Chains A and B, each alone.
Chain A
């Protein structure tokens, strides 16, 4: 059902992405559905191969020609729905960067080494119809300030003169140029050190609070999600495992996979549970976690995996989710060992 709620910015329903390869059709994303609201940081967590980047590319129609996309992606511009998957090339150019922009994984490495930051802004502005030099300059200054960079220091710099964190912030500033309602960040803090990471995460929160933007934050790092996200979707092997509010996911996970993720994350002061040897299953039916799951039954191997509401708006695709209801995790204070208490 398409939500016509004023506060929803993006609505994804039954998204399926497959790639046509010489070995046949390979499924990358299986029946994913979620909503992103205004002023929300939506976290998409998954390991490599989970389909999270593919989902982001599907939303922005940046997948290659041999990708087969099914389902519906609806963007709500002030309440008016735009069917993204049905847009023409020309309409896409309006959609991208103006309504939704994307900062790729490792984007900071794609800054052109022979152009200054100012020239990057000029390029991007001109590509979107802004040609007035003075206007571009003012816009660039405003954007850089909004990402907490000093325009005087940065505008004239080349990419090799900037640190990793600064480059990442320049990429974010560029992505904000047309004031999109939705910003997608794919692994924005990988390879950045602790203090810089903190700056980026705080910036993301500021974008939500001060500029009332929606952000889709894609990462494999559970602590980043825990710190920043309002709502979370957990993906594994292209399959949606669980979705809910941040506290629901962490303190009452309704999927054994989520539980495993949380338990096996190294944390200072906590003894970590051993992580099972994960074998990637090639089958496109059933739960991809079944081979390693403590709750698995025969039915799991053929189950139809899609998100069902289990507890209010807290959704899970696990057919045994009801067994996990009520198992609350303790508030982890540094130094105390973790675990769940029934």
Chain B
């Protein structure tokens, strides 16, 4: 691929990505299951992809594998078209620096022994990006202001124990943006924050994304938040037990869900409107408890909970295929042999 074509290709993409975990069951037996199961996905430059799923769906693992923090068991991860795990050391380092993560728990995502200034100074010094103390300080203060920690001088000296959850998350965001990344994986960054803080943090992230033309992978289990952050142009991928079961523009997927699992999720969430919320019909699944990833059924992984399951579902595994504007992996829809998931803004 020529340099130009490489730059045009999606920022990050994966092909048949699988990450296998081991679950010890008892002293002698070991069970393997795929936390991420044959996922092919792409994220375009400057776009937002919301990755939605229950706990145990593999969304965090997928996110971390896409930015190289985890090595896949099989399959490939591409950065601007280049296979990440066969890159040379310098290329891999560039990939590392250009893809960052914002963690969920504000209480373990910052080193308790380092002040806000130290946290941000360390990568600058390690990569030799500032030539003098003044340059370093300027860069750090500017970043703090960008994330809303104003006055910067005040917050720079603070240690994590002196900051609230929301403030800590802002520091995490500042740290992630410091190296001018191209892709940021935000792993449930607002789940542990109070409702009043959430939108403020999301707005900060979205503003930075626009400013820096970032791609963002937003992992969450909250469909309302997914809708908010993807806005009009973003996409959403719904994950279940390691596979993507539905994918498409969030406007479409969330208003007209196709896959039974997506429908179940949407029918279950409470709405901030009493009449609407109480008149919602919950789509009853045959089992409401979250599934055990090591005991996934043969055939479609959702078949043991799906109220619409029929024979074929229990024997074959559906592939994610095109169904109009969206892609869905379900035998209820006539399958069109598949172009894998692609993203076009």
A223–B277 CB distance below 8 A = yes
A341 beta carbon closer than 8 Å to chain B: no
- Stretch from B39-47, B120-128, B172-180, B266-274 at the A interface: B266-274
A220–B191 CB distance below 8 A = no
A334–B255 CB distance below 8 A = yes
Known contacts being A163-B290, A195-B264, A195-B290, is A335 close to B272, with CB within 8 Å? Answer: no
A198–B268 CB distance below 8 A = yes
A108 and B282 alpha carbons, distance in the complex (Å):
25
B1 beta carbon closer than 8 Å to chain A: no
B146 beta carbon closer than 8 Å to chain A: no
Interface footprint category on A? 35 or more
B274–A194 CB distance below 8 A = no
In the assembled complex, which residues on chain B have CB atoms less than 8 Å from the CB atom of A33? Answer: none
A221 and B194 alpha carbons, distance in the complex (Å):
9
Chain B nearest CB from A270 CB (Å) reads: 9
Q: Count A-B contacts at CB 8 Å.
A: 123
In the assembled complex, which residues on chain B have CB atoms less than 8 Å from the CB atom of A164? Answer: 55
B-facing residues in A142-187 (Cβ within 8 Å): 163-166
A193–B224 CB distance below 8 A = no
Chain B nearest CB from A308 CB (Å) reads: 24
In the assembled complex, which residues on chain B have CB atoms less than 8 Å from the CB atom of A195? Answer: 54, 264-265, 268, 285, 288, 290
B223 beta carbon closer than 8 Å to chain A: yes
A250 and B270 alpha carbons, distance in the complex (Å):
14
B196–A250 CB distance below 8 A = no
> Which single residue of chain A is at the shortest CB-CB distance from B196?
A47
A268–B227 CB distance below 8 A = yes
Interface readout for A38-76 with B: 1 if CB under 8 Å, 0 if not?
A: 000000000110000000000000000000000000000
In the assembled complex, which residues on chain A have CB atoms less than 8 Å from the CB atom of B93? Answer: none
| From B191, B223, B266, B272, contact of A265 by CB (8 A) | B272
Known contacts being A166-B289, A268-B255, is A48 close to B271, with CB within 8 Å? Answer: no
B192–A191 CB distance below 8 A = yes
Chain B nearest CB from A153 CB (Å) reads: 10
B269–A198 CB distance below 8 A = yes
> Which single residue of chain A is at the shortest CB-CB distance from B226?
A268
Chain B nearest CB from A197 CB (Å) reads: 7
In the assembled complex, which residues on chain B have CB atoms less than 8 Å from the CB atom of A166? Answer: 289
A-facing residues in B106-140 (Cβ within 8 Å): none
A103 and B316 alpha carbons, distance in the complex (Å):
44
B289–A163 CB distance below 8 A = yes
Main secondary structure of the interface of B (DSSP, over half): helix
B196–A48 CB distance below 8 A = yes
Chain B nearest CB from A96 CB (Å) reads: 28
In the assembled complex, which residues on chain B have CB atoms less than 8 Å from the CB atom of A264? Answer: 199
A223–B199 CB distance below 8 A = no
In the assembled complex, which residues on chain A have CB atoms less than 8 Å from the CB atom of B290? Answer: 163, 165, 193, 195-196
B200 beta carbon closer than 8 Å to chain A: yes
A47 and B195 alpha carbons, distance in the complex (Å):
7
A272 beta carbon closer than 8 Å to chain B: yes
Chain B nearest CB from A258 CB (Å) reads: 12
In the assembled complex, which residues on chain B have CB atoms less than 8 Å from the CB atom of A262? Answer: 272
A335–B227 CB distance below 8 A = no
A319 and B267 alpha carbons, distance in the complex (Å):
39
B255–A335 CB distance below 8 A = yes
A275 beta carbon closer than 8 Å to chain B: yes
A226–B272 CB distance below 8 A = yes
A197–B269 CB distance below 8 A = yes
> Which single residue of chain A is at the shortest CB-CB distance from B270?
A227
In the assembled complex, which residues on chain A have CB atoms less than 8 Å from the CB atom of B264? Answer: 195
A227–B255 CB distance below 8 A = no
A277–B200 CB distance below 8 A = yes
A337 beta carbon closer than 8 Å to chain B: no
A265 and B272 alpha carbons, distance in the complex (Å):
7
In the assembled complex, which residues on chain A have CB atoms less than 8 Å from the CB atom of B275? Answer: 247, 331
**Which of the listed residues A220, A227, A251, A278 has the most CB atoms from chain B within 10 Å of its own CB?**
A227
In the assembled complex, which residues on chain B have CB atoms less than 8 Å from the CB atom of A251? Answer: 274
A-facing residues in B189-210 (Cβ within 8 Å): 191-192, 194-196, 199-200
Interface readout for B45-75 with A: 1 if CB under 8 Å, 0 if not?
A: 0000000001100000000000000000000
Known contacts being A194-B269, A226-B271, A226-B273, is A220 close to B194, with CB within 8 Å? Answer: yes
In the assembled complex, which residues on chain A have CB atoms less than 8 Å from the CB atom of B54? Answer: 193-196
Known contacts being A197-B268, A266-B199, is A332 close to B194, with CB within 8 Å? Answer: no
B278 beta carbon closer than 8 Å to chain A: yes
A226 and B255 alpha carbons, distance in the complex (Å):
20
| From B224, B274, B285, B288, contact of A246 by CB (8 A) | B274
B221 beta carbon closer than 8 Å to chain A: yes
A259 beta carbon closer than 8 Å to chain B: no
> Which single residue of chain B is at the shortest CB-CB distance from A166?
B289
A-facing residues in B279-305 (Cβ within 8 Å): 282, 285, 288-290
**Which of the listed residues B199, B221, B270, B282 has the most CB atoms from chain A within 10 Å of its own CB?**
B270
A199 beta carbon closer than 8 Å to chain B: yes
| From A163, A165, A227, A269, contact of B278 by CB (8 A) | A227
A247–B191 CB distance below 8 A = no
B228 beta carbon closer than 8 Å to chain A: yes
A333 beta carbon closer than 8 Å to chain B: yes
A272 and B231 alpha carbons, distance in the complex (Å):
11
Which 8 residue pairs across A and B have the least CB separation, nearest first?
A: A227-B270, A198-B268, A47-B196, A223-B270, A227-B277, A266-B228, A48-B194, A332-B273
22 A–B contacts from the bound complex (CB under 8 Å): A47-B196, A163-B55, A163-B289, A164-B55, A165-B289, A191-B192, A193-B221, A195-B54, A195-B265, A195-B268, A220-B195, A226-B272, A226-B273, A246-B274, A250-B274, A264-B199, A266-B225, A267-B271, A267-B273, A269-B254, A332-B271, A334-B255
Task: List A residues at the B interface (Cβ < 8 Å).
Answer: 47-48, 163-166, 191, 193-199, 201-202, 220-224, 226-228, 246-247, 250-251, 262, 264-269, 272, 275, 277-278, 331-335
* 11 more CB-based (< 8 A) A-B contacts, given A196-B288, A197-B269, A265-B272: A47-B194, A193-B54, A193-B55, A194-B269, A220-B195, A222-B195, A226-B273, A264-B199, A267-B224, A272-B228, A277-B200
